[in-house]
Structure 1
Amino acid sequence: MRRVRYDSTGGPLFLEEAPVPEPGPGELLVRCAAVGVTLPVVRKVTEAAEPIPLGGEIAGDVVAVGAGVTRFRAGERVTGLCFGHGYADFALLREAMASAVPRTASAVDAVALVRSGLVALGALTAARPEPGESALVTAAASGVGHLAVQLARARGAGRVVGAVSDPAKSAFVSALGADAVVAYDQDDWGDPVDYALDAVGGELLTPAVAALAPGGRLVAYSSGGGTIRAYDLLVGAKSVIGFQMARVARGKPEVYERWRQELWRLFAQGELKPAVHGAFALEDAAEAHRAIETRRNLGKVVLVP
């Protein structure tokens, strides 16, 4: 089979031939029909001290199952988060991380919707939104952000503001249902909002906090770091909430599954429409990474083996 990997920090990425892996206990062997590309994996390629397996969301057909697997069998379609080599024709998926793909959805739909949607829905839930409240979503054109915009609306937001790195993304974000779109470098982000979902971090934390109304909540779920001054929270009685998807997946599997079912329900009802920024071949994985690194993507970046 073909597999993408790299030998040193920063790449380059290249294709290699590798044996098809054997599923171990509790694992599924999946023929990958779509692979989601995520910012954390892109960052690890450029920042990690040692090369890592290129993992991420995968979707495709179960080819074989390991000992102890009871929920799935060969021939069924699944999606889930792969922690090993996912940029490949075949990949291993832990049964606990797998979920079935409905007949009405494609593999590309699945990788664009489920993991990114879980993060978006989890961050939104952490904000404790009330019907009619106003919302701000940073990185609103990203794989997670474009779903967060739609989910905020589905959860009853009275006004949704999308923040983007490039004004050229405004039309895309408006079409998702945002009432207003602002660029990061704008001095005025408009009327204050009740809560903000931030996927960027770094220097953007300061204007994101400033955009909150008194008593507003900022949910930080970015791996980009950054610092917030305590005084900026104190003067407006504002709060910051950290959200990490891994804690929910490991510690609250029943919540994780309930969120997955909600995403598929909203998808079936047409209230949640995942957008895909092209479909890159495995040999074009480096170009897929560049789309994220340069913030060109509108929606989810997907590899299609």
Structure 2
Amino acid sequence: MRRVRYHQNGGPEVLRIEETEIPQPGPGELLVRNEAIGVTLPVVRKVREGGLELPAGIGGEVAGEVVAIGPEVTGFRLGDRVTGLCFGDGYADYSLLHTAMASPIPETASSVDAVALVRSGLVALGAYRAARPAEGESVLVTGAASGVGHLAVQFARAYGARRVVAAVGDAEKAEFVKAVGADEVVSYAEPSWGEPVDIVLDAVGGKLLSPALAALAPGGRLVAYSSDGGTIEAYDLLVGAKSAIGFQIALIARNQPAVLEQWRQELWQLFTEGRLRPCVHAELPLEDAATAHRIIESRANRGKVVLRPV
């Protein structure tokens, strides 16, 4: 089978296609023949910045058909279509997926739908829930055209936000974010982001934290779920009685698996009802993984970038 690995850290140019044996599933594992693989910014950054022993495979979101089952597996059968987070070789024709990270794909959805919806949707929904929204409140989403952001816009709309504002770095993305439900679009470069909002869902962090906090009305809540960090002045929270909340989906997955499963069911229900529409910017063959990483690094994507091994 083919897999994408890297032997040194760096940009997209370090990615290599290799031939290797198809792995065998161990206890609690499924062998999945991948039909779609999601490409995410955290994974792209890990390749560039390091953090794993080299040479390294690329983990991530996968979706496809179960073709072998390891010992001690219950609840899954050969031929099931599943999606989940792979921590080994995710950019590959076949991946090992632990059952704790796997969930079934409904008959009404494709594998591309699954990788565009599930992981990104869980982050978007979790961040929105962390703000404890009330119906009729206003919401601003940064990174609104991203794989997570465009779903966060749709959650705010589906769950009764009075006004949804999309913040983007490129004005050319305005039509896209309006098409998925934004009432207004603002640019990061604007000195003010318009009428204050009750909730900011921030996927960008860094230098955008200050304007994101400034966009809140008194008593507003900022939910930070970016890996870019950033600094907030305590005084800026105090004077407006504002709150800053951190959200990490990995903590929910480890400590509240029942909540995670409930959220998964919500995602698919909204998808089935046509109220949640995952958008795909590009579907590329596995050998074009470097192109996929370039799209993500340049922030050019409108929705999800997906690799298709088959």
- Quick check: TM above 0.5? yes
Residue deviations 1:104-133 (CA, integer Å, cap 9, x gap): 000000000000000000000000000000
Distance 1:12 1:204 in 2: 30
Residue deviations 1:32-60 (CA, integer Å, cap 9, x gap): 00000011100001101544320111000
1:221 aligns with 2:225: yes
1:90 match: 94
- Aligned ranges 1:1-305 → 2 under 5 Å: 1-10=1-10, 11-49=13-51, 50-51=53-54, 52-305=56-309
- SS state of the match for residue 267, structure 1? helix
Distance 1:254 1:185 in 2: 41
Amino acid at match of 1:195: I
Superposed displacement of residue 145, structure 1? 0.2
Distance 1:97 1:103 in 2: 19
- SS state of the match for residue 199, structure 2? strand
**Normalized against structure 2, the TM-score is what?**
0.97
Distance 1:82 1:39 in 2: 16
Distance 2:35 2:103 in 1: 15
Distance 1:197 1:84 in 2: 30
Amino acid at match of 2:38: G
Distance 2:93 2:30 in 1: 14
**Normalized against structure 1, the TM-score is what?**
0.99
- SS state of the match for residue 161, structure 2? coil
Structure 1 window deviating more from structure 2 (48-57 vs 137-146): it is 48-57
Distance 1:48 1:238 in 2: 35
Amino acid at match of 2:155: L
Superposed displacement of residue 187, structure 1? 1.1
- SS state of the match for residue 44, structure 1? helix
Superposed displacement of residue 12, structure 1? 1.1
Distance 1:24 1:38 in 2: 27
Distance 2:32 2:230 in 1: 38
Residue deviations 1:124-178 (CA, integer Å, cap 9, x gap): 0000000000000000000000000000111110000000010000000000110
When the two structures are aligned, how many residues end up with a matched partner? 305
Residue deviations 1:229-249 (CA, integer Å, cap 9, x gap): 111111100010000000000
Distance 1:71 1:84 in 2: 22
Amino acid at match of 1:152: A
- SS state of the match for residue 185, structure 1? coil
Distance 1:107 1:244 in 2: 25
- Structure 1 residue ranges without an equivalent (≥5): none
- SS state of the match for residue 271, structure 1? coil
Superposed displacement of residue 14, structure 1? 1.3
Amino acid at match of 1:3: R
Distance 2:197 2:21 in 1: 52
Superposed displacement of residue 255, structure 1? 0.1
**Quick one: percent identity of the two aligned structures?**
69
- SS state of the match for residue 22, structure 1? coil
- Structure 2 residue ranges without an equivalent (≥5): none
Distance 1:137 1:214 in 2: 18
- SS state of the match for residue 14, structure 2? coil
Distance 2:297 2:282 in 1: 15
